[in-house]
Structure 1
Amino acid sequence: MTKAKHNCWTCKERKVGCDRALPKCANCKRSNRPCQGYDLKLAWPDKVDGRRKQKKYRADPTALASNYITQDGSFAFLNTTSKDLSGRKFSVQEMMQGDMKLVPAVSSICSVNDQDGLLLSYYDSVLARMITTIDDDTNGFRLDLIQMALSSSDASSRSLLQATLALSSFHLGRQEKALQHKVQAIKSLSESFQAESTSKLAQLATCMMLCVYSVFDASDTTWHVHLQGAKTITAALTKQEREVPCFEFLSPWFNYHDTLSSYSHPAHLPSEEAHQAPDILLPECDSDSRKIIGSLGCSTELLQFVYCINQLRSLKDCSRCNSAHAGRGLLELSLLIRARLQHLKQEIHINIGETTGTIDHQRITLTAEFYRVATLLYLYQVAPPQAIPEKAVQGLVNDGFQLLDQMGLCTSPWPLFIIACNVTSDAERLKIFSILHAMNQKRRIGNYEIIKGLIQTLWKQQDLSADERAPKKIDWRSLIDPNSCIPSFI
């Protein structure tokens, strides 16, 4: 029979033995007393017990209430409830309750009608420039996708056009119109798979554009579905299709989403690899891999290191890694990745043209460095303790905040989330809240609300375990219901 791990609270108060039976102990039943159960119980130091040494609780004189007032005049705090104490897992949508807001229409363009040309123009002039850090003549969001959408009247091109219009409509606050375009995009995409002649690259672009739509719309939980479609199409591309110039833009865009999808999933090895641990191949270091890609915010070399750490996390958690030999292998690999990341250089290459937008070299450099700092922090979450230098984590958190201060506006959710997982003080938490608020105000992307809800849930669990003798590291993935949607961090 399953029993509780400790005595019930009624028996503890009576200082008698408890048989720890579930759901109520036999002592309480026999004496007709209400059994208080075995759940976590909060206590406040309002009762002096002379037989036990009392903890000293001291108020922080610098922790004034005014420090917790946000820009909009409300208080920032973590409202811990009984749900947080229950130990159950949460769906991503539950984490956002109370924070969901409709995306407001942009006041300066309220008079814009629903004609497709104006929506496409909004995408070209605003969205396609907003979702990249380098708006030069390599900006495929403008120069490749629009051309693919308008180059043909076949179903694959129509699907890409409709997905693009859906994204513009949603960001303008026209949710109903956005949904209509999205349905048309999916319908046309389905038709394209039945057609004899179609463009797989346009199909891939449509799947990726629908991924971006899911990132913008917090209520859309189909990001991983569209990404799986993109993965299937990419695997079926021929050598000739991979040599088409637009694939040079599509490939890193897809890899970025795919790598962050692997980051979000719980660590596991695929069934076909269960009998043999896969080799982790570190990325090559050359001029092409060091180049910062606008659609990523960092270099492809750095993105490949994130992928390597995803694999390292899977290997660490598999049963084979309990052996001393496997442990040494993980330590050596972690030290090698750490050395490469510490000395990694990322370079800016700008292709100036007639349609090139504003190029902010400092912001591009700071964003790429922000990714590098976050990737090192991610490595330290996964690596054996021997691979983590003393005080290295707090030092990287400080570096991250310095970079954020210089950036002004953060545009990269994943490295910000990594920083948030490692903050230790209320002052740092308030900075994270402030940064997320500014991101949401300026860019109006629903994914930020999902990330905020996830951060709050993680912080509350960290607070609940803070007084334990050996506070355990909490994997945020363990807090999410496995049947819930997967956060994207895009």
Structure 2
Amino acid sequence: MPSLGCGTCRARKVRCDQTLPKCNRCIKAGRDCEGYGLRLSWPRHNDKRRAMVGPHSKTRSKGIPLNHHRLVNASSRDMELHQMISKLAQKYSVGVDAVPDTPIKLVEDTILARQARQATPFILLNSPATGVLAELSPTNKILFQYFVERASYSISTFGKDAQRVPKILIRMALSDNTPSSTAVLRSSIALASSHRDNEVYATARSKVAALRALAKSLQGFIGVSDSACHIGAGIILSTLEVQQSSTTSSHWLWYACGAAKLVKTSGLDEITTDRDMTSLVGWVHYFNTMAKFSLRHWKPNFVLDYSSLVDAGFNTFHPAVCSNGQPANLTGYPHEILYLLTEVFNSVTVASDPRSNTSEYIHRLQTLDCKLQSIAVHTTTGLEIDNDQPEFNMAVELYRLSTLIYLRRASAGILDLNKNFIDWVDQAFVLLAHLPTCQWAFPLFIFGCEARDDARRLILLDLIQRTADDGRYRSLAPIKRLIEIMWVQQDLLDDDLDYVCKLGVILSSSQKSVPAFLYTISTSLTFLLILNQLLNMPSYLITGTSRGLGFEFVRQLSADPNNTVIGFARNKQATEEKIEREMPGRSNIHTIQGEIENYESVKNLIDETAKITGGSLDYIIANAAIQSEWSGYNPIGALGSDPEKLEQELLDNFKINTVGNVHLFNLALPLIREGQAKKIIGISSGHADPDFITNFSIVEAAPYSMSKGALNIAIAKFDAQYRKEGILFMAISPGVVATKDMSNVTEEQLKGFADMMAAFQVYAPNFTGPISPEESVQRVMSVVYKASIESGSGGQFVSHFGTKQWL
């Protein structure tokens, strides 16, 4: 296309002579010629020919007004996806196997089964226990109130009496002080903390408390109410997980399948006389059904690279934990649709499957289609429609229509896309346009695939935006992204491709984890798996880790990748550089900068530790200490020659070696209480043993010895107070360890050191000199792991041998 002139002449709307490299008109006029290159133009505000500017029309048809114009952009990845879908459609038959419903054979004589058969109505309708709220801190009371008023509505539900689930959860949380009810209460507080403030520390602490309560509740007899509370806590905690996690985690899938297993093995779906229990089991039914859709169409480890594909068949991803049947005995319009939706998922196959041509297969699809059409929203026989919940009734109808649409599309021509089909799509978009919000992702996605024009696409985008603006629900951004990817592929393809093929490739290529067409799901059985992981991943807080013994603790404990190791050092950068040089690639090490003698610094250490561990801590190794060469190698009488220096030395030793650790223990107690090991170890010294000092005339290191003796007394005091809580306090001497550089000591100090070594040899004839940090840490940790309150270790001061033999 010929140039229309330089940019300057075009802007002035004058004729350009188009001379190269610059036009003569601009040169003669003394103007800067902008040349003939490509220029970006932006619409003027009053340019009515531009579609993206101008005021919005105030006159619109009835309904909720549209927001601003939106664009759906196509990227190079979309083009790669388009090419792959096209080639797959030409070369491969994309097959999806049905997700089996493996029946679970229940043991009829179990206590739970008998409870289920003999259950009295409304097992879960306990009156709130006033003491439960009274025991909460003021902050947690406010958070629980927030859960009641707002956060509980972020829990997505579908089924008979689904809207009652938040109220049931609130009543469960306040029913009593049992561990199972406590789990519901603590998980409620965790969700509220995340929903309101996105406060990581408080959320993690409450979440861990809920998990601990669930574990504790399994130690005794588990009744029907306890099992229901496990599901209730799972509802809340899994909602929290979905809201906090990225799309790289498939934990929700294990939660979904585990919940169904809990319902079946506990016989909870046999209890038909309890309205609360039916609502909870209905929640499990909903999520389990939606999991089947994801399992049918998502393939793990999918690579968007056509040349690397050997087989494009999407055999169903089916983890063993998901081999459980659907909850039974559920009645009502929503559950009838869910049961039929499950049959659809398990029935439909691809056109290339030989079974698709059999009369039996065709008859089965036609029967399912007929059943779905026969269900009418206003039918009252056998169905319960809540006239007080018009929005929910609209959602139920959307599920019926989306099931019909999916069935007809996936039948690959066996069922016609006739006028009825077109009418169903039209009805659905009328409902979508009038829904204030929509928390149900499955119908959004199915009808997103049917939005072929801008008007319908805007209806969906507006609905998603209204839902996000409401503030009660999680972000629908992942579903919105999937819908937009589908729209790009529809615009790129000239004709329709295999429906199942498109769903499989798009879901597998755009999702690193199994896509969740729902909000959350969980179960106490899965929580036990998570809890076991927590139990097998102990956390260690070590102070004084920049060098010497502390650094060796970090080295040995971080060698196990299951351990979480937190170091406290004065110079974080230097310590991290040393770790990277000597222990590259150890991602389980966390270094926090600070000084043990600074209270605010120690407080920050505990705050950061809580964020790392989720609010718990198993071990503290209080290693940080100070000992100068001046006081370490001179007798106490010689130190008296400089009283001011001696006094400062004493204060420094006590502040670091004693006072700092006392503050550390007090501040860390809340985390230790939530831990499993519950062990606080103070690294002491044989110099703190008066008998050892007097019997072998150990005259050196007086300030250090005195501060370590004070630490031993503090540990005994802590043990006396907290032993009843199962927290072990203990002082351990690491032995004489080769950690000091002797190159700068004076002759007099070196003589003092030699005299001390000679005294040690008198005490222990086999003593040959300092041991290595490696040997010392190995021996100390052996003592730590063996120690227990039951064996009388609490408050004790022992050596690295576990005895009073210091060398």
Q: TM-score, normalised by structure 2?
A: 0.41
CA deviation vs aligned residue, 1:43-63 (integer Å, no higher than 9, x gap): xxxxxxxxxxxxxxxxxx999
Q: 1:172 aligns with which of 186, 196, 200?
A: 196
Please say if residues 340 and 368 of structure 2, whose CA atoms lie closer than 8 Å, have aligned partners that are also in contact.
yes
Matched, 1:206 2:233: yes
Distance 1:131 1:233, change over 3 A: closer
Task: Please list every run of 5 or more consecutive structure 2 residues that lacks an aligned counterpart in the other structure.
Answer: 1-47, 57-64, 84-136, 298-314, 520-807
CA deviation vs aligned residue, 1:343-401 (integer Å, no higher than 9, x gap): 203457589xxxxxxx7443343222222211211211222413124244433221111
SS at match of 2:72: coil
CA deviation vs aligned residue, 1:21-56 (integer Å, no higher than 9, x gap): xxxxxxxxxxxxxxxxxxxxxxxxxxxxxxxxxxxx
Distance 1:230 1:88, change over 3 A: farther
Q: 1:77 aligns with which of 71, 80, 83?
A: 71
Distance 2:210 2:461 in 1: 35
CA deviation vs aligned residue, 1:80-127 (integer Å, no higher than 9, x gap): 2222233499xxxxxxxxxxxxxxxxxxxxxxx972222222222334
Distance 1:142 1:269, change over 3 A: closer
Structure ranking higher on relative contact order (CA contacts 8 Å, 6+ apart): 1
Matched, 1:335 2:366: yes
Distance 1:443 1:136, change over 3 A: farther
Distance 1:169 1:301 in 2: 36
The Cα of 1:197 is off from its aligned counterpart by 4.9
Distance 1:336 1:371 in 2: 18
SS at match of 1:387: coil
Please say if residues 305 and 337 of structure 1, whose CA atoms lie closer than 8 Å, have aligned partners that are also in contact.
yes
2:207 alignment counterpart: 182
Correspondences of 1:341-360 after superposition (within 5 Å): 341-346=372-377, 347=380, 349=384, 360=388
The Cα of 1:66 is off from its aligned counterpart by 5.3
Report which stretch shifted further, 424-433 or 249-258: 424-433
Q: Which amino acid aligns with 2:366?
A: L
Q: Which amino acid aligns with 2:432?
A: L
1:461 alignment counterpart: 489
Q: Which amino acid aligns with 1:204?
A: I
The Cα of 1:128 is off from its aligned counterpart by 4.0
Please say if residues 122 and 168 of structure 1, whose CA atoms lie closer than 8 Å, have aligned partners that are also in contact.
yes
1:230 alignment counterpart: 259
1:305 alignment counterpart: 340
Please say if residues 215 and 445 of structure 1, whose CA atoms lie closer than 8 Å, have aligned partners that are also in contact.
no
Please say if residues 144 and 188 of structure 2, whose CA atoms lie closer than 8 Å, have aligned partners that are also in contact.
yes
CA deviation vs aligned residue, 1:435-490 (integer Å, no higher than 9, x gap): 111111114433411111111222223333x136x644353332225752432334
Q: Please identify the structure whose Cα radius of gyration is greater.
A: 2
Report the count of equivalent residues.
378
The Cα of 1:255 is off from its aligned counterpart by 0.4
Matched, 1:422 2:450: yes
Q: 1:122 aligns with which of 125, 128, 146?
A: 146
Distance 1:132 1:269 in 2: 26
Matched, 1:262 2:318: no
Please say if residues 366 and 415 of structure 2, whose CA atoms lie closer than 8 Å, have aligned partners that are also in contact.
yes
2:612 alignment counterpart: none
The Cα of 1:227 is off from its aligned counterpart by 2.1
Distance 1:472 1:415 in 2: 20
SS at match of 2:176: coil
Q: 2:399 aligns with which of 371, 375, 380?
A: 371
Please say if residues 208 and 254 of structure 1, whose CA atoms lie closer than 8 Å, have aligned partners that are also in contact.
no
The Cα of 1:217 is off from its aligned counterpart by 3.9
2:354 alignment counterpart: 322
Q: Which amino acid aligns with 2:331?
A: S
Distance 1:228 1:136 in 2: 20
Please say if residues 155 and 191 of structure 1, whose CA atoms lie closer than 8 Å, have aligned partners that are also in contact.
yes
Q: Alignment RMSD, CA only?
A: 4.2
1:219 alignment counterpart: 246
CA deviation vs aligned residue, 1:132-187 (integer Å, no higher than 9, x gap): 79999985424422222233333322222222222222222334233332233233
Please say if residues 295 and 514 of structure 2, whose CA atoms lie closer than 8 Å, have aligned partners that are also in contact.
no
SS at match of 1:115: helix
1:356 alignment counterpart: none
Q: Which amino acid aligns with 2:264?
A: A
The Cα of 1:195 is off from its aligned counterpart by 4.5
CA deviation vs aligned residue, 1:289-324 (integer Å, no higher than 9, x gap): 345xxxxxxx211111111111123xx1498x4146
Please say if residues 156 and 439 of structure 2, whose CA atoms lie closer than 8 Å, have aligned partners that are also in contact.
no
Matched, 1:289 2:331: yes
Distance 1:488 1:189, change over 3 A: farther
SS at match of 2:476: helix
SS at match of 1:141: helix
Identical-pair percentage: 21
The Cα of 1:429 is off from its aligned counterpart by 1.4
Distance 2:208 2:266 in 1: 25
Q: Which amino acid aligns with 2:413?
A: P
Distance 1:260 1:78 in 2: 27
Q: Which amino acid aligns with 1:126?
A: R
CA deviation vs aligned residue, 1:193-225 (integer Å, no higher than 9, x gap): 444557222112222222322444463743223
Q: 1:438 aligns with which of 463, 466, 487?
A: 466
Distance 1:253 1:312, change over 3 A: same
